[in-house]
Structure 1
C-alpha cells in the first residue's frame, strides 16, 4: 500500500486507543450498530482483558482474526494493541490445509471468527487453538465479566510491555515459491503510517473513513483504519465490498475518505450512471492500481479525487505522489527513501525511460528493472522465515520484488511483478500453490502458472498445460475439476488456459516462465478463456484477442504485454 512516511514513531497504537476514552462522538458504524469512540475504547479494553486471560503463558501472544468487516475486527485490533499482542489477519478465500497453515504458522492460540466462516474450519487440524465465535451466546458470556474495563488499566501480557517496537500485525504476502509469508508491522510503524497519511492528506477528526476493502489486508488497516484512529475520525464498515451499495453507504455514513484497489474502481465505474452521482460527501480515495484512465473517469463522474500510491507490502519502499506527477506515473521516492530501478541480475541501475510522442515506452528492455531501496529500510521482517528475509535484504538493499521504470525527471512507473508472483484483485498469489492444485487434474502431464497483465489493473491468472498421451482438453471437465477442489481459493482459477504439446524449458530443464509470460495469450497454441464472470471456458478467438488488445490500449497498459 502506498504510504508516505516510512519510519517508526514513538507513539503506540495502544496510546491512540487510550486517547479515545471519554470521546462520545460517533466512532464506529456497521449496518445498524453505532458506537461512540468511548464505547469502542471500552469494548477494546474488555476484549484485551479477556485476551490476557485466554492466551497461554509462555506462548507467542498472537491471535488470528477470520472475520468479514464487522465491528469486531477493529475492536480486536485495538484490543491486541492494548494487550501487547499481535493480530494475524486470516484470508477467508484460503481453503483447506493452506488455511490451517496460515493459522498455525503464525502461532495463533486464539482465533476470532463468526458463524458464516465456521464451515471453513471443518476438518482442519488446529492444535491448541481456542476458537471464539463472535455471534454466539458463548462469546457474549465470555466477555460479560470484563465489561467496564478501562483501556489505561489493561496490564500488558507478562514480559510483553507495550512499546513502539511491539509486534501488532502479521499480514500475509505471497512470494515466488511456497506458502505466503507473514510480514511484521509494529505498533510504532502502524501509528507512524497513520500519522503520515493524516498529515499528507489533511485528514481531520470530523471525517468519516469508509472501510470497504477487507481488513485482513494491509490496505484497509494501514491506510484507512490507522489514519482514522490517529486523527480521531469515525469509521464506517462494509462487510464486503459492493459496487452497487457504495454510494448509498457513502451517503448514509457521510463518508469523506476511503481506500481502494484498482478492480474496485472498475466495478464502481461499471455501475449505471445516475444524475445524483455527485450528491455525496466523499472527497478523497487513496489506493493502488486504478490507473490514470480510471482515476480520471472516477473523478469526472463522482467528483472525488483518487490518489494513486505505492508501498511494498512489507514497508521497505514507498513512493510519494506530488502535484507535478505525470499521467501514468506513481510519483517519486519518498523524502526518506533512496530508491533505484536496477537490473536484478547485475545490480546495475537501469537507464532512464524514453517515450514516444504518444507516451509509449520505447526502451522497456533497458529501462524496466526491480525497485530497490538502497537506504535505510523500515522493513521489519517476516515471522519465522529467515531465508525470505535474507532474500529480501540481499546485498544490504531492500528488494521490492516489483518491476518499475523511471523517467529522466525521477518519476517512477509501475511495470509489473518479478518472478512468478501474481496480484489478482489486490491479492498476492503464489503460482506454485496453484500449480500443485492443477497438477491433480488427470489429463495434465505438466502445469505452469504465471501472470498476464490485467487490462485495467494487476494481473490475471494464466496456465499452460501439456496433456498426457491420448488426452484432449475438455473445457467442461476442466471447469468441473476446478469447482471440486476444496483448497482452490476464489482468486486462483485461471482466466486463460494455454494447451501446449510441451512446456518450454530452459537449458537447466526448468520451465521457461519468462517465455510463457512474454507470449501470454498471444501464442501459437490453442488458448481457452473465461470472459467476464463466466465460469466455463471457451476458445479465445481472433475477435476476442482484438477486443482484449483494445482494452489494454484504452487503459494505457499495452506496453505491459511483452512478446
Structure 2
C-alpha cells in the first residue's frame, strides 16, 4: 500500500488518458509519470533523503499534484503549507518538522525573503510558478528538464507520507502524521461508497493543501481518471470551467456553493455535465441543499464528515439520503454513517458508549487514523486513547447508525445551567429565507453565564432584523435556545477548509464583554 502504485497501474493500462489539465497545460498519464520521476530525481540531487520533509506553498495547479507524487516517488514526506497563513505561521510549520526544501509559486514568491529571515533552518527554494525564476531559487521546469528519471523508492505501509498541519479553528497548528497506509485506508472505503465516475473529470477548487482536497485528488488518481485544476475559487471562473471542460464532479464547501448560487449568471451556464458534488465543513447546510437541488435537480449530492486526523473521512451521507423523502425526514441533515473499516462510537466524558439518540463525543478507530502529532507526545496521548481518536465533536447516533453533529464540544453554550448546541440553532436560522450564512457562539452574560449570540450574513437585498430572526427561531426551538442577540456582518471568518472560525468571532467578546443588546 503505497500512494505511487496507482501511477504504475494507470501507466500500464491507460497511459494516454488525460491526467491533468490546468489552463492551457495538458498532460497524459505517460507525461505525468515521466515528470514525476524526473522531479523526484531532482529532489534527491538537492538533498532529499528517505523520510525528509518537502513543503509546497502555492495555489492549486498541475504542478501541485506533480509535487505530491514526486516527493513520494523519491522517498520523501510532503508538508503542504496552508497558503492562507501569515509568514510567522508558515515558518512555524517549516521549522517544526524541519522542512528542508520548499516549492513556491508566483503568488507567494515575495514571501521567500521573510521566510529566509525568520526560519531557523533556511529551506532551499524551488520556484514552481510561471515567468522568470527569482534569484536564489531553482526553477521547477528546469529541474525536470535537466534531471534523469529515477526509480520509484516504493516507500509505503507505515512509512510516513504526509505531515499536514491542522488549519486551526483553535490554537496553534499541530502537524498530523499520516502514513501511506492511513491515506490508502481513507481513500478505498470512499471509493466503495462512491465509485469514481468512469471517464470523469474532477474539478479541483478546494485547496490541495487541505486534507479534503488532497484526499479527493488521491481517489481520482487511484481510479486513473482526469484532474482539472483552477488556482483558487472564483464563482464566475468556476462556472466557466465546469461548462468549458465538461466537469463531472467537484468538491466544494458551503460558502463556495452559496457563492455560485448567488451569482447573477448562474443560469446562463450549461452545467449538465456535473453529475456529482461533494460538500462538507458545515453541519447547517440544509437550506443550501434545497436551493442547490432546486437549480440542479439531477445532481448527486454527498456530504462528508471528517478531520485531518482521520485522513479525513469518518462518515458519508450518500446521494440516496438527499432525495425528497430523506429531506422531509431530516436524514439529509445527517453526516452519514461510518465508512468501511471505520469504527465510530458516541461516548460520555468517561469514554463509555451512550445510548442511541444521546449526545456525546464522537470517537473513531481504524487504519485511516493518524500516527500522531509531530513532536507533540502529550497532545497525541490526549487525542489517541486505547486506539481510539477522540474527535472533540459532539453528536448523537440514531438507531440506523447515522450521525448527527450538534457542536464542537468546546463550542457548546451553557446558559442558565442548560446545554445549548450551536449547530441546532444554526440549522434553524439557516432555514430563514433571508439568511445566507450564520454562526452561533456563547458570549458572557452576568445572569446566565453565557448567552446565545448569532452572527448572520443576510442574502443580497434581504432586510430581516434581529427581532424577526428570534421570532423565526421560537417556532422551532425552545425560547432559551434562541439568540438573545444578533449581529449582522458582510461575511464570516473562514478557515482554509471553509469552516467558520468561531474563536475569531469570540475574540470580540473576551474579557467579560457582552454582546450588544438588540
Distance in structure 2 (CA, Å) of the matches to 1:178 and 1:274: 38
1:353-398 Cα distance to aligned partner (Å, 9 max, x none):
3xxxxxxxxxxxxx32211136777332222211111111235432
| Local SS of the residue matching 1:43 | helix
Q: Within 5 A, what are the aligned runs for 1:352-391?
A: 352-353=356-357, 367-373=358-364, 378-391=369-382
Shift of 1:121: 4.1
Distance in structure 2 (CA, Å) of the matches to 1:48 and 1:551: 58
Match of 1:341 among 341, 346, 349: 346
Match of 1:483 in 2: none
| Local SS of the residue matching 1:341 | strand
**Does structure 2 retain, via aligned residues, the 8 Å contact 1:80–1:87?**
yes
Match of 2:301 in 1: 306
Q: Within 5 A, what are the aligned runs for 1:67-82?
A: 67-82=58-73
Q: Within 5 A, what are the aligned runs for 1:148-547?
A: 153-154=150-151, 156=153, 162-173=155-166, 178-223=171-216, 225-272=217-264, 275-276=267-268, 279-288=271-280, 289=282, 291-302=285-296, 303-315=298-310, 318-321=314-317, 323=320, 326-344=331-349, 346-353=350-357, 367-373=358-364, 378-419=369-410, 460=439, 515-516=449-450, 519-521=451-453, 544-546=465-467
Deviates more, 1:206-215 or 1:37-46: 37-46
**Does structure 1 retain, via aligned residues, the 8 Å contact 2:78–2:163?**
yes
Shift of 1:155: 5.6
Check 1:19–1:543 CA distance in 2 against 1; reply closer, same or farther (3 A cut).
Answer: closer
Choose between structure 1 and 2 for higher RCO, CA contacts under 8 A separated by at least 6 residues: 1
Check 1:333–1:191 CA distance in 2 against 1; reply closer, same or farther (3 A cut).
Answer: closer
Shift of 1:71: 1.7
Distance in structure 2 (CA, Å) of the matches to 1:56 and 1:265: 40
Match of 2:145 in 1: 147
Match of 1:364 in 2: none
1:459-488 Cα distance to aligned partner (Å, 9 max, x none):
749696xxxxxxxxxxxxxxxxxxxxxxxx
| Local SS of the residue matching 1:330 | coil
Distance in structure 2 (CA, Å) of the matches to 1:305 and 1:555: 29
Shift of 1:129: 0.8
Match of 1:489 in 2: none
Check 1:79–1:192 CA distance in 2 against 1; reply closer, same or farther (3 A cut).
Answer: same
Shift of 1:530: 8.6
**Does structure 1 retain, via aligned residues, the 8 Å contact 2:359–2:395?**
yes
Distance in structure 2 (CA, Å) of the matches to 1:48 and 1:266: 40
Distance in structure 2 (CA, Å) of the matches to 1:555 and 1:221: 38
Distance in structure 2 (CA, Å) of the matches to 1:183 and 1:91: 13
CA RMSD after TM alignment:
3.8
Check 1:76–1:560 CA distance in 2 against 1; reply closer, same or farther (3 A cut).
Answer: farther
Check 1:399–1:149 CA distance in 2 against 1; reply closer, same or farther (3 A cut).
Answer: same
Distance in structure 2 (CA, Å) of the matches to 1:555 and 1:251: 40
Distance in structure 1 (CA, Å) of the matches to 2:333 and 2:389: 24
Distance in structure 1 (CA, Å) of the matches to 2:17 and 2:46: 31
1:316-340 Cα distance to aligned partner (Å, 9 max, x none):
8722435466231122233433322
Shift of 1:504: 7.1
Match of 2:57 in 1: 66
Match of 1:17 in 2: 7
Shift of 1:122: 4.2
Check 1:104–1:335 CA distance in 2 against 1; reply closer, same or farther (3 A cut).
Answer: same
Deviates more, 1:39-48 or 1:328-337: 328-337
Q: Which runs of 5+ in 2 are unaligned?
A: 413-420, 431-435, 485-518
Alignment coverage as a number of residue pairs: 444
**Does structure 1 retain, via aligned residues, the 8 Å contact 2:100–2:124?**
yes
Shift of 1:270: 1.5
1:217-270 Cα distance to aligned partner (Å, 9 max, x none):
0111102x1111011111000111122222211121221111122222222222
Deviates more, 1:45-54 or 1:114-123: 114-123
| Local SS of the residue matching 1:180 | coil
Distance in structure 2 (CA, Å) of the matches to 1:251 and 1:546: 42
Distance in structure 2 (CA, Å) of the matches to 1:77 and 1:145: 16
**Does structure 1 retain, via aligned residues, the 8 Å contact 2:407–2:422?**
no
Match of 1:134 in 2: 128
Distance in structure 1 (CA, Å) of the matches to 2:366 and 2:222: 27
Q: Which runs of 5+ in 1 are unaligned?
A: 1-9, 354-366, 422-449, 465-499, 506-513, 523-528, 535-541
Check 1:248–1:312 CA distance in 2 against 1; reply closer, same or farther (3 A cut).
Answer: same
Distance in structure 2 (CA, Å) of the matches to 1:76 and 1:557: 52
Deviates more, 1:455-464 or 1:297-306: 455-464
| Local SS of the residue matching 1:179 | coil
Shift of 1:48: 0.7
Match of 1:114 in 2: 105
Shift of 1:549: 5.0
Deviates more, 1:180-189 or 1:255-264: 180-189
